[in-house]
Amino acid sequence: MTQTSLASWLSYIESQHPSEIELGLDRGNEVLARLGLSRPRNKVITVSGTNGKGSTCAMLTQYLCAQHHSVGTYTSPHFLVFNERIALNDSPCDDEMICRAFDAIEAARGNIALTYFEFSTLAALWIFDQSDLDYWILEVGLGGRLDSVNMIDTDVAVITSISLDHIDWLGDNIDVIAQEKAGIARKDKLLISGVVNPPDSIAATALEIGAHLRQKGTDFNFVSDEGLWSWSGAGVEYNNLPTPSLPLQNAATIIAVLTYMGMAPKQEDLVRLFKTAQLTGRFQKVASTPDIYIDVAHNPEAAIELSQRIKQLVRPPIAVCGMLKDKDIASVVSHLANSFSDWFCCDLDGPRGAKAEDLSAEIVRCLPNLLSNDLSSHVHTFHSVNQAYDAALSKAKADQRSVIVFGSFVTVSEYLTFSQSKE
């Protein structure tokens, strides 16, 4: 069935499979074989991990584009429009190209029911094939081994970090989760692990597959000191690198990817990258007077990273927080409870959305002594991101504070939609 617009296509593909998520490669592999796609001129780079996938993909893309390579990048989820997921040379694809991809997939799939993510992944691969690119950079959506991105044999597999997340799908065991994420590796191909204190299952999985593992802390290292940092590995060193706005441990991982791929990046090119690299929703400053930041931090590891960023601010900021109830709300709040002067909690719509009251209860539990005297003046609950943000903004202006909107891609997306409508 041919649709007439991207909006109608997206509505259509949402209705084609009874489950939002169904891990497995059989359905996608069958359609992929029917499409008969080629590969990029150089390499496929596939990125998995609990946190840091987006920033790793962004820095790799921006570096390769600066070196005049043509690059297709597939990421998820999107903030405002679906087009963000499929980028050519760091620019989102237009509606027409994506509709053509969906047409091709619909013609090839026959009676095979595909999930929304499988449709999206196949569309990205079809577009990259049509565009005759040097590199494909593919971000795993969930897990690794059974994620639809793993339909394509990678040339370089990357694991950014490992922590507990998506436990309903991946389990509550770090070793098992690491094994799933390392499952994107291929025999005789590179597997770059940026994981701090990596579980043994990464090396075991690499050995079983026959991949060439290079690990942070063993094969490469980085050291940070007073706003500058250095990297060493594979017999080379880079010193006096500027600290990027994106997480430093992911910057160290992408140097490893480039180095072990044999690209021998130049010092000046890395300096330029780390001074300019950016990604929507990663401690991103979006307004001034007062300063407004957005951050998609939604699990403990990301919360720790956010807490470190907040320490760089002169005064404790105000939080606008909305989360999904299947996340580890207690751990996220515990890592950030002391980072904010005030909390403006909001409901998120949908079956997965947590209620503001649940968030505020965790905050009270984490900070009972601080809040017991005047709870109502520090923690507030609202029915929407918009309401919470408006109230936080008034407080920030009165108290000369900054505001950080965080807790979920959904929270940040709703803020961006709301702020865009007011422009």
| Residue tagged 């701090």 (tokens) | 196
Average pLDDT over every residue of 120-136? 97
pLDDT of residue 168 exceeding 60, the answer is no
Instruction: Indicate the angle between helix axes 385-399 and 409-421, nearest 10 degrees.
Output: 70
pLDDT of residue 374: 60
Question: Quick one: pLDDT at residue 169?
Answer: 46
| Cα–Cα distance measured from residue 423 to residue 421, given in angstroms and rounded to the nearest whole number | 6
Q: Which two tokens stand for residue 240?
A: 């006096």
pLDDT at 174: 86
HSE value, Cβ hemisphere, 13 Å, CA-based, for 103? 11
Closest CA relative to residue 164, chosen from 152, 151, 175, 156: 175
Sheet hosting strand 190-193, strand order edge to edge: 91-92, 86-88, 71-74, 135-139, 43-48, 156-159, 190-193, 212-215
Kindly report the average pLDDT of the chain as a whole number. Answer: 92
CA angle in degrees (0–180, nearest 5) for 44-164-417: 70
**DSSP letter assigned to residue 196:** S
Confidence of residue 420 (pLDDT cuts 50, 70, 90): confident
Confidence of residue 371 (pLDDT cuts 50, 70, 90): very low
Residue 20 confidence (pLDDT) above 90: no
Whether residue 270 contacts residue 255, with contact meaning beta carbons closer than 8 Å, is answered with yes
pLDDT of 1 strictly over 50: yes
- The edge-to-edge listing of strands for the beta sheet with 292-295 is 284-287, 292-295, 403-406, 318-321, 342-346, 379-382
CB-CB contact of 181 with 168 (8 Å): no
Residue 286 has pLDDT above 50, yes or no: yes
Give the DSSP per-residue string, 394-419: HHHHHHT--EEEES-HHHHHHHHHHH
Per residue in 93-114, pLDDT (tens digit) is 999 999 999 999 999 999 999 9
| β 379-382/156-159 pair status | unpaired
Answer whether 0.85 is exceeded by the pTM: yes
Task: Give me the pLDDT at residue 16, please.
Answer: 80
Residue 388's H or E segment, with its range, is: helix 385-399
| pLDDT tens column, 238-259 | 999 999 989 999 999 999 999 9
**What would you report as the CA-atom Rg of the chain, rounded to the nearest whole angstrom?**
22
Query: Please, where are the H alpha helices in 15-142?
Result: 26-35, 53-66, 95-109, 116-131
Q: What is the DSSP letter of 160?
A: -
Distance CA 416, CA 419 (A): 5
Reported as a pLDDT band with limits 50, 70 and 90, residue 366 is confident
Whether the pLDDT of residue 92 is over 70: the answer is: yes
In the structure, what pLDDT confidence band is assigned to residue 338 with cuts at 50, 70 and 90? confident
Q: How far apart are CA 318 and CA 349, in angstroms?
A: 22
Instruction: Please give the sequence-ordered ranges of beta strands (E in DSSP) within 116-194, or none if there are none.
Output: 135-139, 156-159, 190-193
Q: What is the pLDDT of residues 40-75, one digit of tens each?
A: 999 999 999 988 999 999 999 999 999 999 999 999
Rounded Cα distance, 166 and 155, in Å: 26
DSSP state of 47: E
- Domains in the chain (CATH in brackets) are 6-276 (3.40.1190.10), 284-421 (3.90.190.20)
